[in-house]
A and B are shown apart, each in its own frame.
Chain A
Amino acid sequence: MREVTRVYLMGEVQVHALRGVDFELLESELVVLLGPSGSGKSTLLNILGGLDRPTSGHVFYRGDELTLAPDDELTEYRRRHVGFVFQFYNLIPSLTAAENVALVTDIAASPMSPDEALELVDLSERRHHFPAQLSGGEQQRVAIARAVAKRPQVLLCDEPTGALDVRTGRVVLSVLSRIHEELGTATAVITHNAEIAKMAHRVVSLADGRVSRVRRNERRLPPDEIVW
């Protein structure tokens, strides 16, 4: 994305979420977007994932411009290429783990089976449980299984450990990292936790709607060595 700004109205106040951001997510890359709350990182992720449009600037996916794409095209883009993992999991409470994954496999072009996807996150034996019967970490792993089941080109994670304790968070990060290794999916992880940045190829720091710093990790830390 180039020169992206995003302004929206909160009640009667104009909020400048992004103020001219250039950002690129490369294939097979794991990027961490680091920044305090209100720095614009969620907005950036939403725009990357086709959930939102910039107020100005341009967004491209593999050379196709998404900036002014109609809703249907953005939906198709999400449906084919993007996997989302949210801070609050956003599972459908009335569906079991397997059915939540099936939501995606039902509509994807060449998905894995829900069982396969749950296997990837070590939750095969919990597949018939409803979200309310799963712990937070398990719910987040279901959400990850749901995101990767379609074999997306892009995996976008919004504070995936934000609602979890350290130990569970670490398990979730390991799963993310392993999947990234196995599937080679370009992955962007949002966090306000600088420690998590140590597992990334590249760390992009945001502050006040701008990219404040870009740093490459010479040595990536495996998730189970991360401490916070």
Chain B
Amino acid sequence: MAAAGEALTPTSYIGHHLSNRTIKLGDSPFWTLHIDTFLTAVFLGVIGFGFLWWVVRGATSGVPTKRQAFVELLIGFVDEQVKGIFHGSRAFVGPLALTVFVWVFLMNATKFIPIDLVGLFTGKVMQQKEWFPVPTADVNTTFALALSVWFLMLFYNVKVKGVGGWVHELTCTPFGSNPLMWPLNLLFNAVEYLSKPLSHSLRLYGNIYAGKIIFLLLWMWAASGLMGSIFGGVLALGWLIFHILIVALQAYIFMMLTAVYMAMAHESH
């Protein structure tokens, strides 16, 4: 949906669809809120977890309904995956992985809706010129998730091993406790701790954002004439089907990495 009076060029189309609806809360660029990212994410979370809650509230230990069986399948799947990685009580890590999986999956899945349909709704009904409907294609979301997991990881490192144990791990692994090796160990661990949230968040962001751009190109092609509509439509269908995999896979990977980081925080080397 290009704004009235603007020429519809590829650059403007893509630029338009990749810009967030922002609210300025302060002078510094940091005090800006992507209200579209935030509201879409919260909306999806409320829908997803609300549904789960609704089913779980009526859950029975007897013969389950099909709806309950679906939710049990989902939670059982997450539990199985976490169990394979994380040895210990899953009272916190289980719900954490479930939250990550469901939320990331739903946020990724908004990509399936053709963006101009979303634009129709957000533009005409909500009266918002700019609305970017895929929260995980906003680096703020992925960093928020990855850094939250990272801080949880630091928290559990200290909680499980104690400050001394954690410092010992930072200085004495992986090359041994020889004092000469301490700087090298520290450097190694620093790189590891730095790369964890970066790879964790940027992998998800990159996949979803790139997929989004391909979609935008295809939709743009589809708007360029009859042949474009046909080829663009067919290719978009293929890309869409492929993205069913990507969306689920990225949510799965994000969940697994979360579980792995939590497991690393709980286990001493």
Do A and B come together as binding partners? Answer: no
- B residues near A, CB below 8 A? none
- Residues of A at the B interface (CB closer than 8 Å) are none
